[in-house]
Structure 1
Amino acid sequence: MTTTSTTTKATTRAVAVNARTAAARAGLQRGWIEFRQTMTSGQDLWSVMFFPVVTLVVMFLLRHNTVPGTGFSLGSQALPGILGMNVVLNGMMMLALSLTMDREDGTLLRAKATPKGMTGYLVGKVTSRAGTAVIGLLVPLVPAAFLFGGLDLGRPSAWITLVWVVVLGLVAVLPFGAILGSLFGSAQGVGFVTFPMMVLMGISGVFYPISGFPEWLQWVGQAFPLYWLALGLRSAMLPDAMAVAEIGESWRHLETAAMLGLWAVAGILLAPLVLRRMARRQSGSVVKEQQRKAMQQRTT
């Protein structure tokens, strides 16, 4: 009897693992298809590039301003932070928007009705948004390397640092995109996060070294992953001498990895709980009500 029970449990676990594996594989395929569609759509590409294009133009106009205490261009110093902000916008914020729109049009409900469909759906969304975020970083980096002097991208260590910072940064912010998309009932609701994001951008040292802020504001900025993502990108793209403008006059790689890792663990633990809670509330009647409200907002 015990042997039969053990065999049954083992078989059940194996079936569950196979189902999750199949769902993850389908999600990767879906994510790749969505990513290709984004890369071949002029409108989608413009939405990916709009923020970095505007900010790069502004920073180029400020290229003759210098970082206090150095002769280094403020525009070049701000470039890595701008690219880091673009990773957050194209990763976390766009994932949140995609999830809310899929709730409105019933895509999420159809995924919920499929065995392990939510797993495949989330893997697909994370894959497509991660790919878009990486492209949103690399494409502006090419012209920026010619427009902004002082960047130090010729070292192999620079690209190694760039890779691990971007990967860890995406793991840190993408789960919170899923959480935001689960908490807000519409794309307009996610839009309200834009203002806090702009404030966070200002206090995270994206445009100006955070070491020049009051100490209490420095602590606030360092509590969020955007600061550490931008710091890691600066350590990859800028000369080592520019660490003098940072807190502690150091790139603090260990602290960067630790803080982004903490945010990643928190997001990975919280996101499935929030998503499951949101998915349980989805039904045909809820989707119809969301579509009715969306139509009303478009006509008013």
Structure 2
Amino acid sequence: MSLTSIGARGGIAHAGVSQGVIELRQAFTGAELIGQLLWPLVTLVALFLVRDVPIGGGGATLDTYILPGALGMFVALGMLLVVQQLAADREDGSLLRARITPNGIPAYLVGKSVQISATILAYLAIVLGPALLFVDGLALGRPGSWLTFAWVLLLGLIATQGIGAVLGSLVSSSRGAGYVSLPVLALIAISGVFAPISALPAWVAGAAQVFPVYWLGLGMRSALLPESAAALEVGGTWRPVETAVVLGAWAVAGLVAAPVVLRRMTRKESGSRVAARRERALQRVG
């Protein structure tokens, strides 16, 4: 690898990180901050309300089970954030500007990854920090617990944002992003976040296990819950190898596919198309 290519990659990373930090600051400033805090705070309230609801045997309560799944859910919501932001950037011409800038698309992807990953980490901190004060039955002192949490989180961020980039390349407007959100939310609902997946019909449980959302929740539960809680899972085990394989496969697929589909999509962008989309958006508002 030449010094020129190394310098170019360093420039892409620097430009992407700088843009991501700027967008992150904007997302957590002023009125935007209220929207960012809403869902983490709603999740905390829900956890508090079910803190005495029993589940299974041995005195376990529903909040203990839901907390790791909720953390996985917030990571999975990275898919929707990518779809929504890609649609908005395509509609207002930001993607077109990135295309005509040298190394603009790689820098754009780095910036979005930084901004969305940091946003999700903030969500997790907002939920997990206070929840530790009232959610009992967690096994955070178990050897390897936080290491498992870290690798599940890393693979989950990469996998879900890669899927989001592919889905986002298929829509050209904020309205289209809203339509894409519906099946993603349905997938989250059947992926064992709110109840053990073993309680669902076999065909639903089988379909959920094809996608990374279920494995995110399972991986988080394996990191934060005691070994005895695995009895509620499919097969009665945490299945760490399967979790790593599925999340890793989706992560690799996302890393390979996202730059390709975005480049292909941005080749079709033009000033006239951006202007037409803006006009349609104004007509909807009017």
TM-score grouping bracket, smaller chain normalisation = over 0.9
Unaligned runs of 5+ in 2: none
Question: Which of 267, 273, 292 is the matching residue for 2:254?
Answer: 267
What is the CA distance between 1:120 and its match in structure 2? 0.8
Match of 1:29 in 2: 18
The answer to whether 1:283 aligns with 2:270 is yes
The answer to whether 1:78 aligns with 2:66 is yes
Match of 1:99 in 2: 86
Match of 1:7 in 2: none
> What are the equivalent positions in structure 2 for 1:36-185 lying under 5 Å apart?
36-39=25-28, 41-89=29-77, 91-155=78-142, 157-185=144-172
What is the rounded CA distance, in whole Å, between the counterparts of 1:223 and 1:33 in structure 2? 36
Deviations 1:32-68 (A, max 9, x none): 22223333x1433333332232233223222222223
Task: Name the stretch that deviates more: 275-284 or 179-188.
Answer: 179-188
Match of 1:203 in 2: 190
Q: Is the 1:168–1:261 contact (alpha carbons within 8 Å) kept by the matching residues of 2?
A: yes
Q: Output the aligned Cα RMSD.
A: 1.8
Match of 1:6 in 2: none
Q: Is the 2:43–2:127 contact (alpha carbons within 8 Å) kept by the matching residues of 1?
A: no
Match of 1:254 in 2: 241
Q: Is the 1:85–1:226 contact (alpha carbons within 8 Å) kept by the matching residues of 2?
A: yes
Q: Is the 2:88–2:173 contact (alpha carbons within 8 Å) kept by the matching residues of 1?
A: yes
In terms of fraction of residues, the more helix-rich structure is 1
Partner AA of 2:68 in structure 1:
P
Partner AA of 1:131 in structure 2:
A
What is the CA distance between 1:290 and its match in structure 2? 1.0
The answer to whether 1:220 aligns with 2:207 is yes
What is the rounded CA distance, in whole Å, between the counterparts of 2:51 and 2:109 in structure 1? 41
| Percent identity for Structure 1 against Structure 2 | 47
Determine helix, strand or coil for the equivalent of 2:242.
helix
What is the CA distance between 1:15 and its match in structure 2? 4.3
TM-score normalised by length of structure 2: 0.93
What is the CA distance between 1:14 and its match in structure 2? 5.9
Partner AA of 1:182 in structure 2:
S
What is the CA distance between 1:289 and its match in structure 2? 0.6
TM-score normalised by length of structure 1: 0.89
Task: Name the stretch that deviates more: 288-297 or 197-206.
Answer: 197-206
Q: Which has the larger radius of gyration?
A: 1
Match of 1:4 in 2: none
What is the rounded CA distance, in whole Å, between the counterparts of 1:286 and 1:14 in structure 2? 38
What is the rounded CA distance, in whole Å, between the counterparts of 1:252 and 1:44 in structure 2? 39
Unaligned runs of 5+ in 1: 1-9
Partner AA of 2:10 in structure 1:
T
Deviations 1:171-203 (A, max 9, x none): 111111212221111112111123222321221
Change (3 A) 1:83 1:182: same
Determine helix, strand or coil for the equivalent of 2:132.
helix
What is the rounded CA distance, in whole Å, between the counterparts of 1:158 and 1:16 in structure 2? 39
Task: Name the stretch that deviates more: 136-145 or 30-39.
Answer: 30-39
Q: Is the 1:103–1:287 contact (alpha carbons within 8 Å) kept by the matching residues of 2?
A: yes
What is the CA distance between 1:227 and its match in structure 2? 0.4
Determine helix, strand or coil for the equivalent of 1:268.
helix
The answer to whether 1:229 aligns with 2:220 is no
Partner AA of 1:44 in structure 2:
E
Partner AA of 1:87 in structure 2:
V
Q: Is the 1:153–1:236 contact (alpha carbons within 8 Å) kept by the matching residues of 2?
A: yes
Q: Is the 1:84–1:230 contact (alpha carbons within 8 Å) kept by the matching residues of 2?
A: yes
Q: Is the 1:52–1:82 contact (alpha carbons within 8 Å) kept by the matching residues of 2?
A: no
- Aligned pairs, number: 286
